[in-house]
């Protein structure tokens, strides 16, 4: 999955009002970033590398598995497949969106 495909998939899942109430950045390193502004109304999803309340570092393949539902976010964290920086509460709320 490309970063553009991941962005579109997340945009569809987030919709206009995710209830997230915060900003999140999925940082896939050299593959790029997906920035979710869940604090704006309507919510927006872009590839802008902005500061976020919570940054999740992971590989693009792991992000793809999270989006498709093939990987549980909590399990991914426990297995060290992703790293969370910032507000852990925001990361926990992502489970209901992904």
Query: What is the Cα–Cα distance from 94 to 33, expressed in whole angstroms?
Result: 16
Quickly count: other Cβ atoms within 10 Å of residue 64's Cβ: 18
Spell out the per-residue pLDDT of the chain, length 98, in tens: 899 999 999 999 999 988 899 999 999 999 999 999 999 999 999 999 999 999 999 999 999 999 999 999 889 999 999 999 999 999 888 877 87
Place of tokens 């872009």: 46
Q: Is the CATH code 3.30.1050.10 the one for domain 3-91?
A: yes
Q: Do 25 and 38 form a contact (C-beta atoms < 8 A)?
A: no
């Amino acid at each position: 999955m490309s970063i553009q495909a991941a962005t579109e998939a997340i945009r569809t899942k987030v919709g206009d009002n995710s209830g997230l109430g915060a900003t999140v950045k999925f940082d896939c390193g050299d593959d790029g970033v997906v920035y979710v502004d869940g604090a704006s109304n309507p919510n927006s999803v872009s590839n802008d590398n902005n500061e976020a309340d919570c940054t999740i570092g992971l590989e693009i393949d792991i992000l793809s598995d999270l989006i498709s539902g093939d990987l549980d976010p909590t399990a991914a964290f426990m297995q060290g497949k992703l790293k969370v920086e910032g507000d852990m509460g925001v990361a926990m709320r992502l489970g209901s969106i992904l």
